Amino acid sequence: MKRFDDAIMLVKAERERQFAKWGKQRHDVFTWMTILMEEVGEAAQAALHTKFGGKAKGTFGLEMIHVAAVAVQIIEWILEKKKKKNSLSSPRFSS
């Protein structure tokens, strides 16, 4: 569980950095997915550069933290929407 705890702390720190930089973000589902896929694309680029060389070599771990932090932020947004609707009675939810 130590690695899990360390991973969660890295994602939490990134979420805090994002909040400090942009504040609370409210987007529609399309915009959220666009942001997430942009981060996934950067992670893919980092993987390619790590294998074949390039400016993003060695940044794959950092990019995956960004992917996870954006995914958490999307879940926060969904939970906020559900709380407003007072319908968070099930662990299954949709946007």
Tokens (6 digits) for 54: 């390039």
Residue 82: pLDDT band (50, 70, 90) is confident
**DSSP assignments along 31-71, one per residue:** HHHHHHHHHHHHHHHHHHHHHH--TTTT-HHHHHHHHHHHH
Give the whole-angstrom CA distance, residue 27 versus residue 30.
8
What is the pTM assigned to this prediction?
0.86
28 vs 82: which has the higher pLDDT: 28
- Is residue 90's pLDDT more than 80? no
Amino acid making up residue 11: V
Tokens (6 digits) for 21: 């930089």
The pLDDT value recorded for residue 81 is: 87
Residue 93: pLDDT band (50, 70, 90) is low
Q: Per residue in 1-51, pLDDT tens?
A: 899 999 999 999 999 999 999 999 989 999 999 999 999 999 999 999 999
Tokens (6 digits) for 22: 């942009």
